[in-house]
Amino acid sequence: MLHVGLCIAALFVVSITHWVYRWRNPKCNGKLPPGSMGLPLLGETLDFFTPNQTNDTPFIKNRIKRYGPIFRTSLVGLQVIVSTDSELSYMVFQQEGQSFESWYPPSFRRIFGNQNISSLHGSLHKYLKNMVLSVVGPESLKKMFSEVESVATRNLEVWASQETVELKTSIGNMVFEFMGKKLISYDPEKSSENLRDNFEAFIRGLISFPLEIPGTAYYKCLQGRKKMIMKLKNMLEERRAKPNKVKNDFFDYVLEELKQNDTMLTEATALDLMFALLFANFETTSQAITVAIKFLTHNPRALKELTEEHQKILRKRENPKAGLTWEEYKSMRFTFQVINETLRLASIVPVLFRKAKKDIKFKEYTIPSGWAVMVCPPAVHLDPVNYKDPLDFNPWRWEDMDLKSASKTFMAFGGGQRFCVGADFAKLQIAIFLHCLVTKYQWQPIKGGDIVRTPGLQFPNGFHVRIFEKET
């Protein structure tokens, strides 16, 4: 019996040893990029999610120093190739549907839904993309131009009457109010509950360790999603029972599509899409505006030039009290430089995932079929090879650069077929808000403003400021 027991123990040790070896040395029909797979199953997940109180990316930077711009790792049990190489990252975006396909970890898909637009492919993805363009496409932007300015003006007037304002929350409320109206005719003053509150737990858990245990950020995030989807479903049912005679919002458009016999749209897909649109616009745009104000606060020269650009717009008008025009918006050259520089430094979307559809050769390395590829915009944006003094807020670096599209070194809105359809809408909201702010108001920081990456960008202590009207 003792002999048998020793044999079983020996086999167990050998099996575990072999399993750990295979974990650390994955099979590859070629040369894998260098790196470490970390602990079995856990990988390097804990290190990846460790909060960082600088604008830099230490998890990525430490591994770049050790392994180079392309390395392998394991996150939440997944085999991942991390790309901070601008050439590879660009190739990943451009070969969507050929060598790579859009893909996100199961933990992420549970949050956004299996039918969310970022996880869909082919004709269904194209179909949903066109639906979104009906809301935020070029023609729609011109129609909602004055509404965006009106919302910004009204909120700034309210904030200027208060002792202090926590910018991230206040701007988030403003953006959510506008997008909620466009999508679902949401009016916080008439509604019995604040839909915006349902996103609070969602935001904190979106990029967190995916441990579904009560009390964890990820668990609260999933609960926030369930509540929000249920509320959207109830609203959809109410609209079905009492449809609007005239199409007023995106819900009306969705209901019309669901009635069609040949539609590709399902109710589940529609709800996931609505959920994603509400979150993506409010969270990313409010983050970008808040970060822009933070950078401008500490760069008087940039604030002065930005203010002069917008004062010049007012001086050229026949009627100084008239609203912004499309032509004036298009003339905001320095404003777009400020926006691009803010998005470069903030890298509000910290990672973008794709999956290799086959074995892919890149330089001396092979990316195995089925492996995830994680593109890291912050690492590309903060690479001194791509940008001189990359941690400095320097809008003037964009003077002779393309301000409109994605490139190998600028991927704030992704790239390729998955280039964010809401990019122009986000820039428009930021530009109009900055116009309303700098032409009429000044602000003074009171407390907070510290940025933490986990790896998503957060303001753990908020950013509290005092806003007051300029003396005329």
Per-residue pLDDT, 23 = 60
Average pLDDT over residues 330-347: 93
Please give the residue range of the domain that contains residue 222: 2-469
Distance separating alpha carbons of residues 297 and 305, to the nearest angstrom: 13
Per-residue pLDDT, 255 = 83
pLDDT over threshold 90, residue 463:
yes
Binding-site residues sit at: 420
Per-residue pLDDT, 224 = 79
Of 279-293, 363-377, 380-394, the range with the lowest mean pLDDT is 279-293
Tell me which of 278 and 198 has the higher pLDDT. Answer: 278
For 102-156, the pLDDT digits (tens) are 888 777 777 777 776 666 677 777 877 887 777 777 778 888 888 999 999 999 9
Tell me which of 242 and 289 has the higher pLDDT. Answer: 289
Task: Give yes or no for a contact between 73 and 44, defined as CB atoms under 8 angstroms apart.
Answer: yes
Per-residue pLDDT, 83 = 92
Sign of CA dihedral 442, 443, 444, 450: negative
Per-residue pLDDT, 312 = 94
pLDDT over threshold 90, residue 429:
yes
For 226-257, the pLDDT digits (tens) are 888 888 888 888 888 877 776 677 888 888 88
Q: Which amino acid is at 256?
A: E
pLDDT over threshold 60, residue 306:
yes
Sign of CA dihedral 240, 244, 245, 248: negative
Task: Give yes or no for a contact between 147 and 156, defined as CB atoms under 8 angstroms apart.
Answer: no
pLDDT over threshold 90, residue 400:
no
pLDDT over threshold 70, residue 204:
no
For 87-101, the pLDDT digits (tens) are 898 899 888 888 998
Of 23-32, 104-113, 400-409, the range with the lowest mean pLDDT is 400-409
CATH value at residue 389: 1.10.630.10
Classify the phi-psi angles of 370: left when phi > 0, otherwise alpha if psi is within -120 to 50, otherwise beta: left
Which tokens in the block code for residue 422?
Answer: 């809401």
* Number of domains the chain contains: 1
Distance separating alpha carbons of residues 175 and 196, to the nearest angstrom: 10
DSSP 99: T
Per-residue pLDDT, 33 = 92
Per-residue pLDDT, 191 = 61
Percent of the chain whose pLDDT exceeds 90: 31
pLDDT confidence of 69, banded at 50, 70, 90?
A: very high
Task: Give yes or no for a contact between 52 and 454, defined as CB atoms under 8 angstroms apart.
Answer: yes
Q: Which amino acid is at 138?
A: P
Per-residue pLDDT, 299 = 95
CA–CA distance from 261 to each of 127, 197, 258, 265, 272 (Å)? Answer: 15, 36, 8, 10, 21
Secondary structure (3-state) at 356 = strand
Per-residue pLDDT, 432 = 95
Per-residue pLDDT, 472 = 64
pLDDT over threshold 70, residue 9:
no
Per-position DSSP letters for 253-317, written without gaps between them: HHHHHHH-TT----HHHHHHHHHHHHHHHHHHHHHHHHHHHHHHHT-HHHHHHHHHHHHHHHHH-
Per-residue pLDDT, 262 = 81
Q: Which amino acid is at 77?
A: G
Tell me which of 437 and 50 has the higher pLDDT. Answer: 437
pLDDT over threshold 70, residue 10:
no
pLDDT over threshold 90, residue 349:
no
Average pLDDT over residues 324-345: 93
DSSP 460: T
Binding-site residues for heme sit at: 420
